[in-house]
Every structure is written in C-alpha cells, then in structure tokens.
C-alpha cells in the first residue's frame, strides 16, 4: 500500500510560482544558475524600518498581528533582494497559541510563569493545553502567511518562496523546564534522565505543537519549512539520537505528506546550533541541513551525508573590512560545492547591530559568482 499524500492546492506557490525558484531547486539537491541566499533573522532588529514598525508593540503581539508580521517578513526581501522570505515569528508562538503563559522579556528571552520541571507539571501542562486544540488559534498565522505570499507575488511575481518556521521540541522543552533561557540547559538535561517518562511526554507534546504550526504555514502558502533547534548542541550525540531526534523527526512528519502537483514534498530544512558532533544524526530524512559557523561547510557535508546544506558564514565577519568579508563569502561558496545543493546563509542569525548595507552587498556578491 502506498503512502497517502495530500496534494497542495493548484494556487499554492509550489504549484504556481516557486517550484523552479533558486531556493527550492537548491533545497531539493539541484544546482540553480545562481546560488540562493537568505539570512536567518533577516526580518528584525538590524533594519531601521523594522525598529520603527515595532515601536510600542511587544514581540509576541507583533508575531500575532497578521498585517504587522507580514510586513516585517517582507521588509528584507524589498531591501536586500534575498531569494526567500523567512516567516516572522518566534519559537514560543505555538506555546502562546496553546494558552501557555509566556512572555519575551527584552534582553532575556522567553520567560514562563511556572517552570514545567516535574512529572506533575508535565501532566498538568498537557492536560490543560492539548495540542489538538490549537486549530482555531492558528488563524493569525495562516492569515499572516497568506498576506505574505500575496505580498511576494506583488514584489517579484511570486518567485521568492516563503520559508515556514518552528522551534524544535528539545529547545521548546528546555525553555519550559527551566522557565527561562539557560546557558547549558542543565535542568532539561537532568530531567530527561531523572524523569524519562515525563520527559518523553513533554517532548511529544512539543513536537505535536510545532508540527501543527508548520503544517498550518505550508497549507497557507509556505514553500519550505525550517526546524530550528537552538540548544541541541548541549547534548552528547548518543543522548540526542536516543532522546531527542525521534521527536524532531515526528515534527517533520506533520508535513511530509504535503506534495506539489508533481508529487514532490515540501522541502524540509533542519538547523541546530553548536551541533558539530551531531551532524551524523541531523539528517532526519530531510532535504537540507543547516550548518553553523563552527564547522567548515565541506566537512559538515561529509558528516551529514546526502542532503543539501545551508550556511555558514560567521556572523562576526559582518563587521569586517569588505576584502576580508568577500574572501570569506567566496570560501563558503567554494566549500558549498561539496554538497548536492547549497543555500548561502549565515551560520546563525543576523546580529542586531549589523549595517543593512552589508547584507545587501553580500547578496549582490553571491549572485555575481
């Protein structure tokens, strides 16, 4: 018996606009005429137009305002000429939509009213905020995605794909267990060994939330999805493989059945920070693996084996003199030739003090190679 699939609507960008875009081609292991480029956190604090738009609006409120989220997503496409938009959101948005009390404190990050650090706390969380109840709460997300896709069609005829975005289960769980950001994720690492059944239940719940979040974005018009794992690098490879990878795979499973008119699935991208020792475990049947700045791109591609790669310019180089930066860009492009496909990006997000003109210059240079 064949695997059941869900065909995306004929009007979906993967059927009408983006199927042959540089980005989708590279994600699917091809070599387009030009190496595609976009930047993690391109929609955000480095842009003066973003800062002006955000005055008086808290982060999570901005994420849940469809008009505002769409405009913020489109800003870097207009300014830099990047080859994709990344949906403006935050990894804790699905938790917020599920009714979990959370806020983002400036200079701190996500802060939860009560840490979920015991079996009883996990049981209460899952019972009070069932993932299947997320449905109608996703309306602001689907509206923002639809607005963004319409905006991309007006900008460049729809050629630029929108990338959907979600946080990986381990990163969500690490925030929940500690109640706030942590340098070493010790509380989460301890809980997975001290209370393995509760830990598994928490990760499974997080995976279902993130999966539903991704699926909603794709059905509304996203042409690819990226699962972002901020804290996976805190784990040994064996622990990651046994305790975490299955739920990240389950998150991707929520969108694996979505295919275009030719039967090709939505491209899946997996990115984990500080994960050089995990590269052998990060290909969870995905199309592309993001690489941070710590590992040379060709070496990472060798460890990963198979998929396209994305990355991996060191964000620290964005303030370097142009000749230094230019040579570093060329080195990344050279090393990226070792993989079936390569999408140029930073090895992490755009720092808030970055000169926007530098990003535009990088895009122009990559496109010229």
Distance CA 225, CA 27 (A): 11
Is 294 designated active site? no
Residue 26 CB-half CA count within 13 A:
28
* Type and span of the H or E element at 343: strand 342-346
* Type and span of the H or E element at 304: helix 297-304
H helical segments located in 98-244: 119-128, 139-156, 169-178, 186-194, 196-220, 237-239
- Counting other chains too, the contacts that 58-65 makes at CB distance below 8 Å and 24 or more residues apart are 58/103, 58/104, 59/90, 59/104, 60/90, 60/92, 60/93, 60/96, 60/102, 60/103, 60/104, 62/88, 63/88, 63/89, 63/90, 63/93, 64/93, 64/96, 64/97, 64/140, 65/140, 65/144
Distance CA 138, CA 97 (A): 7
Is 175 designated active site? yes
Q: What is the number of other CB atoms lying within 10 angstroms of the CB of residue 14? A: 26
Residue 289: which region, alpha, beta or left (left: phi > 0; alpha: psi -120 to 50)?
beta
The one catalytic residue in 31, 45, 153, 249 is: 45
The one catalytic residue in 17, 83, 90, 229 is: 90
The one catalytic residue in 17, 28, 41, 79 is: 41
Distance CA 318, CA 16 (A): 36
C-alpha radius of gyration, the chain, whole number: 19
Is 240 designated active site? no
Q: What number of residues does the chain have?
A: 369
Distance CA 309, CA 297 (A): 8
The one catalytic residue in 31, 54, 78, 294 is: 54
Is 41 designated active site? yes
Report whether 291 contacts 311 (CB < 8 A): yes
Question: What is the bridge-based pairing of β-strands 102-105 and 109-112?
Answer: antiparallel
Is 330 designated active site? no
Degrees to nearest 5, angle at CA 215 with 129 and 78: 115
The one catalytic residue in 50, 175, 240, 279 is: 175
Q: Which residues are catalytic?
A: 41, 45, 54, 90, 175
């Amino acid at each position: 018996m064949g695997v059941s699939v869900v065909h995306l609507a004929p009007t979906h960008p993967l059927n009408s606009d983006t199927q042959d875009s540089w980005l989708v081609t590279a994600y699917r292991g091809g070599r387009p005429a030009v190496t595609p480029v976009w930047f993690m956190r391109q929609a955000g604090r480095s842009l003066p137009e973003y800062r002006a738009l955000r005055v008086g609006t808290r982060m999570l409120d901005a994420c849940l305002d469809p008009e505002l989220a769409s405009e913020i997503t489109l800003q870097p496409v207009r300014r830099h000429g990047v080859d994709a938009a990344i949906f403006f959101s935050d990894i804790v948005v699905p938790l917020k939509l599920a009714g979990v009390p959370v806020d983002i404190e400036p200079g701190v990050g996500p802060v939860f009213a009560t840490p979920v650090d015991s079996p009883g706390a996990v049981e209460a969380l899952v019972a009070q905020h069932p993932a299947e109840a997320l449905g109608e709460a996703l309306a602001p997300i689907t509206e923002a995605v639809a607005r963004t896709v319409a905006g991309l069609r007006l900008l460049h005829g729809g050629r630029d794909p929108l990338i959907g975005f979600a946080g990986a289960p381990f990163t969500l769980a690490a925030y929940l267990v500690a109640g706030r950001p942590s340098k070493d994720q010790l509380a989460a690492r301890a809980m997975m060994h001290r209370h393995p059944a509760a830990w598994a239940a928490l990760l499974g719940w997080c995976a279902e939330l993130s999966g539903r979040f991704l699926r909603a974005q794709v059905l509304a018009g996203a042409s690819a999805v990226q699962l972002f794992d901020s804290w996976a690098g805190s784990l040994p490879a064996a622990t990651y493989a046994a305790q975490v990878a299955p739920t990240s795979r389950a998150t991707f499973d929520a969108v694996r059945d979505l295919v275009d008119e030719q039967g090709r699935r939505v491209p899946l991208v997996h990115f984990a920070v500080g994960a050089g020792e995990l590269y052998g475990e990060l290909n969870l049947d995905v199309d592309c693996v993001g690489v941070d700045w710590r590992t040379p791109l060709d070496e990472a591609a060798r460890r990963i084996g198979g998929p396209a790669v994305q990355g991996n310019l060191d964000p620290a180089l964005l303030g370097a003199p142009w000749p230094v930066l230019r040579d570093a860009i060329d080195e990344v492009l050279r090393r990226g030739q070792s993989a079936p496909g390569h999408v140029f990006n930073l090895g992490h997000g755009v720092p808030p003090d970055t000169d926007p003109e530098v990003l535009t210059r990088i895009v122009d240079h990559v496109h010229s190679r």
